[in-house]
Amino acid sequence: MATASAAALVALTPATVVAAQPQARAATPPGLSCNTGKHAIDEYTGWALCKNNGTSTQTFWVHLVCGWSPDVDGEHVTLRPGQLGQSTAHCSSLGSGIGEISVRP
């Protein structure tokens, strides 16, 4: 029985290793210049503040990787050329907090 358990563990290891590898950080969408961060008082709240430097209207939102909790997306913000806007999102307080903040088009 110990051999069967060891074989099952070995069979699961490659999938576990692949899932645990960090994903590449998403680049800021073209035409936007953005700053991201965590809220000063609430480390479970993240934000993206972006300016549309392009010549056409753009929509963006903040995406938070929340550790043990499900990932979350902030509200979609649409900016005309030259406009500035912010998207915020909040990870569940049951999780381990924000692991990564990115901007999605």
Per-residue pLDDT of 44-96, as tens digits, reads 999 999 999 999 999 999 999 998 899 999 999 999 999 999 999 999 988 88
Cα–Cα distance, 81 to 60 (Å, whole number): 13
Q: What is the pLDDT of residue 95?
A: 80
Summarize pLDDT for 4-33 with one digit per residue, the tens. 444 443 443 333 223 333 334 456 778 899
Alpha helices (H) along 1-105: 2-20
pTM for the model: 0.72
The rounded distance, in Å, linking the Cα atoms of 90 and 46 is: 6
Q: What is the pLDDT of residue 68?
A: 87
Q: Which residues pair with 86 in a beta bridge?
A: 49
Angstrom distance (rounded) from CA 63 to CA 50: 13
Instruction: For residue 41, give the amino acid letter.
Output: I
pLDDT for 17 equals 29
pLDDT value at residue 10: 40
Give me 24's structure tokens: 């590449």
Please report the pLDDT score of residue 26 as a whole number. Answer: 53
